[in-house]
Amino acid sequence: MAVTIGVPRETAPGEHRVALTPDVADRLAKIGYEIIVERGAGASAYFPDADYEAVGARLAERSDALGADLVATITPPEDELGALQSGATLVGFLQPLDRPDLSASLAAQGVTAFSMEMVPRITRAQKMDALSAMSTVAGYKAVLLAADTLPKFFPLLTTAAGTIRPAQVLILGAGVAGLQALATARRLGAVTSAYDIRPAAREQVESVGAKFVELDLDTADAEDKGGYAKALAKDQQARQVELLARHIAKADVVISTALIPGRAAPVLITESGVEGMSSGSVVIDLAAANGGNCAVTKPDERIVHNGVQILGPTNLPASMPLHASQMYARTLAALVTEFTDEGAFTPNFDDEIVQGACVAHGGEVVHERVKSLTDSLNG
């Protein structure tokens, strides 16, 4: 009997993506899996049931999709963990560093859980990097949102009514989302600049035609082994905010993307920093789900503070569900395919990808960092 992969409909508020698209379902079926799709699972991402049936997937009830040997999700079915089989595998964005309790619940249920955002950033795992894929979507959409909100043009325009100067766009955090935002803003004609505490980011920022903002701050040891930014000491953080303020004040648009895995987002724009911006300016805070890089951000709200509009979207990829689903599905399938042997998902628990992404197995939380968090919850 073929190993089953279940694709339940996403039920989190505002979530329109689907974990597997028909083309990827077809690819997995061809290596031996039986694909079970909850009816309507892809509808909000513009993938009708007929497209899944056309590639041989079986349409079924929700309980069938959740009861599969491997359940592919975007976000975990938190209220339905009991529907997962003991011994089954769950793959999705599980937020283990922010929600270690969920990893503990999955372990108690006897589920093997792989968290897509924990896939290590190594060359071999690039095709499985769902977090970077979704950050690409978020960075692109953030600029479109900013352009729609800003009461100015982005590009330089020479008209009969005079010359319009281009918008000044500042990106805080030059990771995948930040670099995509820079490239998109430049395509729209804005003058772009970016700041990142990682000195190595300079070359990447300049490669997309933006100016790198350099502060008088020692950040030589600001990057961890995984390529992520490390938290600054309190005095460095305060100095960073102080030095950034004058650059923020000159910007028409600030898009902030700075995150530190497992920690609250660093505040880079204080309330007084917002008040130093010109009326009509825009802040798009992509770190809103983790507390925000702007002190006045409210998640999933648009607020006006001293004439500045601050938006805190927490799930921009879901607003572009078709391409976001395609990109996510490909990364998930790459993970599954990497550890498929004769039509079965057989991860090697000595493999560094598995060790990085697997958070629960055999009734225990197995990821060292997540386990330390669950242990602290239990006192």
List residues with catalytic annotation. Answer: 121, 126, 129, 132, 228
Q: Report DSSP state, residue 320.
A: S
- Which residue, 74, 69, 54, is CA-closest to 8? 74
Query: What are the φ/ψ torsions at residue 6 (nearest 5 degrees)?
Result: -100, 140
User: For 63-123, what is the HEC assignment?
Assistant: HHHHCCCEEECCCCCHHHHHHCCCCCEEEECCCCCCCHHHHHHHHHCCCEEEEHHHCCCCH
* DSSP 3-state of 194: strand
Both tokens of residue 346?
């057989």
Q: How far is CA 174 from the centre of its chain?
A: 14
- Which residue, 247, 329, 245, 298, is CA-closest to 18? 329
Strand partners, 7: 37
Q: Report DSSP state, residue 302.
A: E
* DSSP 3-state of 203: helix
Distance CA 82, CA 78 (A): 9
Cβ neighbours, 10 Å, residue 13: 8
Q: How far apart are the first and last CA of the chain?
A: 44
Helices vs. strands in the chain: H and E counts, helices first: 12, 19
- Which residue, 202, 143, 146, is CA-closest to 174? 202
